[in-house]
Homo-oligomer: A and B are copies of this chain.
């Protein structure tokens, strides 16, 4: 049992145990641990041997009291959102290489929960945090970012000074979707946007609305343009979908701000006997795994979440290294065409 960090006496193996075992000072061990400057090769190997043999593991708590914890906080908001796993993988791929740990905060998209999680991460002395898809406002974020290096992913705040933002170019994404629909001959194209309740000018949905409006205008279809605000709660959404599908002004095509709405709408449309895409074409946003299922086959805008995660982690590291001037990075999304946009040519 030499590898459990407890020696034969049942005493915990600390930096002192290692120092004694290696016949050096605690400072020497600490320096080896941190790859600090000024250790001879001989000393280093001696210490490393002892560490190995004793199964020593540095206490994160003790470290956190003075130096770095080598741990990053990642706040994932909206645990069910299919977009998050890919972002997380991207972040992880960068942090792993850098030898950093991750502490995840999971939370429903409630502001108080988010605040609690951020404070928890500050309390835990994270070296930096990445906040994904938050509902929090710019002022709150600025104030936290003052205390801890911060990167925000999936939340537009282009004038932020204290933190970086990584976003999909949501305006372009919406334009891609609308243009694809126009190319298929659609004119009466409506958009389904995120309900008012949770809206906030920094959110992604309004950006997508801008792209939608722009594309419609540019194509001279401004008269058709209309945005349907969808409720965010689940229950009333069923009614909203029905209302939309049975309305005499039902559009011929729909651009949805998220697959979260597009998928239920697609389902309801088919259930109601409509043909997709003939009676109603649909393009969603996020390219979630479900959209790719053959029975669903929902065309969608792909944000490349993994890339966003990677870029975000890299930005955080450069910020932790001392960069002060904020970076606001947009990543170009792509359209994934599927059956909800056009029938495959048989």
Q: How far is the CA of A101 from the CA of B57 in the complex (A)?
A: 24
Which chain B residue lies CB-closest to A116?
B101
Q: How far is the CA of A295 from the CA of B295 in the complex (A)?
A: 7
CB of A58 closer than 8 Å to a CB of B? yes
CB of A270 closer than 8 Å to a CB of B? yes
Contact partner of A293 among B57, B64, B79, B267, CB < 8 A?
A: B267
Contact partner of A289 among B63, B80, B120, B143, CB < 8 A?
A: B80
Report B-chain residues with C-beta under 8 Å of the C-beta of A15.
none
CB of A254 closer than 8 Å to a CB of B? no
Report B-chain residues with C-beta under 8 Å of the C-beta of A85.
79-80
Encode A151-162 as 1/0 by CB contact (under 8 A) with B.
000000000000
CB of A25 closer than 8 Å to a CB of B? no
CB of A223 closer than 8 Å to a CB of B? no
Q: Quick check: which of A41-49, A102-110, A242-250, A309-317 contacts chain B, the rest being far away?
A: A102-110
Which chain B residue lies CB-closest to A266?
B295
Encode A115-130 as 1/0 by CB contact (under 8 A) with B.
0000110111100000
A293-B80 contact in complex given A65-B61, A103-B103, A119-B57, C-beta closer than 8 Å: no
Q: How far is the CA of A5 from the CA of B143 in the complex (A)?
A: 12
Assess the B294–A295 pair: CB atoms within 8 A. no
Report B-chain residues with C-beta under 8 Å of the C-beta of A5.
122
Q: Which of A57, A58, A79 has the most CB of B within 10 A?
A: A79
Contact partner of A125 among B6, B60, B290, CB < 8 A?
A: B60
- Say how many copies of this protein the assembly contains: 2
Report B-chain residues with C-beta under 8 Å of the C-beta of A69.
61
Report B-chain residues with C-beta under 8 Å of the C-beta of A266.
295
Encode A77-117 as 1/0 by CB contact (under 8 A) with B.
00110000100110010000000011111100000000000
Which chain B residue lies CB-closest to A104?
B104
Pairs A–B under 8 Å by Cβ, sample size 12? A4-B143, A58-B123, A60-B125, A61-B63, A61-B64, A61-B65, A62-B65, A65-B65, A88-B106, A103-B124, A104-B106, A270-B295
Q: Which 7 A-B pairs have the closest CB atoms?
A: A61-B64, A104-B104, A60-B123, A267-B294, A79-B85, A61-B61, A271-B294
Residues of A within 8 A of B (CB): 4-6, 57-65, 69, 79-80, 85, 88-89, 92, 101-106, 119-120, 122-125, 143, 147, 263-264, 266-268, 270-271, 289-290, 293-296
Beyond A4-B147, A103-B103, A271-B294, 16 extra complex contacts between A and B, CB < 8 Å: A6-B147, A59-B64, A59-B65, A59-B123, A59-B125, A60-B64, A60-B123, A61-B62, A61-B64, A80-B289, A101-B120, A263-B293, A267-B293, A267-B295, A270-B295, A290-B293
